[in-house]
């Protein structure tokens, strides 16, 4: 139930910030939110998107949304490098709950404590992977390049 409440709050804040951006220049609104596509891996048929939203306090909200997931809770991570190269985990994200097929994480640092801003995330050499569940992290259900690696 808490997750629905938090999802509702995030939705309202995105709606309100979307309305506020209508009054500002188009350049400003286009730089405060960035969306990347997540593609299915192997036969998962699970698609999705990741949205980076710049917050007023300098943090970044990362909203993950997937379609067609199973009944598992899906761990999610931002990794270094592109999808083809692979890399180590850079940022641990909130797992996706199967009921709402979304999660939201507020980011100010990498997992090692290195600060990272919204602007740096948009240029980040990385990718996102969403896993089947905690017991089967080797199974990737959807993934996509972000930042400097996005097409």
Closest CA to 87 of 117, 127, 121, 120: 127
Q: Does 91 map to a domain?
A: yes
CATH classification at residue 130: 2.60.40.200
Helix (H) or strand (E) holding 13: helix 2-21
pLDDT of residue 122: 96
pLDDT of residue 25: 39
Q: Note whether 62 and 104 are within 8 A (CB).
A: yes
Q: Does 21 map to a domain?
A: no
Closest CA to 86 of 36, 3, 145: 145
pLDDT of residue 19: 35
Q: Does 95 map to a domain?
A: yes
pLDDT of residue 72: 86
Q: What is the DSSP letter of 137?
A: T
pLDDT of residue 43: 86
The number of folded domains in the chain is 1
Range of the domain at 134: 31-147
Q: Does 7 map to a domain?
A: no
Q: What is the DSSP string of 17-41?
A: HHHHHTTS-HHHHHHHEEEEEEEE-
The residue with tokens 């994200």 is 93
Say how far apart CA 51 and CA 78 lie, in whole Å: 13
pLDDT of residue 118: 96
pLDDT of residue 125: 98
Say how far apart CA 94 and CA 138 lie, in whole Å: 18
10-residue mean pLDDT profile of the chain (151 residues): values are 52 45 40 92 92 96 91 94 97 88 96 97 97 93 96 74
pLDDT of residue 24: 38
Q: Note whether 105 and 52 are within 8 A (CB).
A: no
């Amino acid at each position: 139930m808490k997750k629905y409440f938090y999802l509702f709050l995030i939705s309202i804040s995105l709606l309100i910030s979307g309305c506020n951006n209508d009054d500002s220049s188009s350049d400003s609104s286009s730089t405060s939110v960035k969306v990347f596509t997540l593609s299915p891996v192997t036969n998962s048929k699970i698609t999705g998107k990741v949205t980076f939203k710049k917050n007023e306090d300098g943090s970044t909200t990362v909203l993950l949304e997937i379609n067609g997931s199973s009944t598992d809770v899906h761990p999610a991570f931002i990794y270094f490098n592109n999808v083809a190269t692979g890399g180590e985990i850079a940022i641990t994200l909130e797992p996706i709950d199967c009921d709402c097929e979304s999660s939201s994480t507020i980011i100010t640092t990498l997992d090692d404590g290195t600060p990272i801003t919204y602007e740096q995330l948009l240029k980040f050499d990385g990718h996102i992977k969403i896993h089947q569940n905690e017991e089967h992290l080797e199974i990737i259900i959807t993934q996509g390049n972000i930042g400097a690696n996005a097409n």
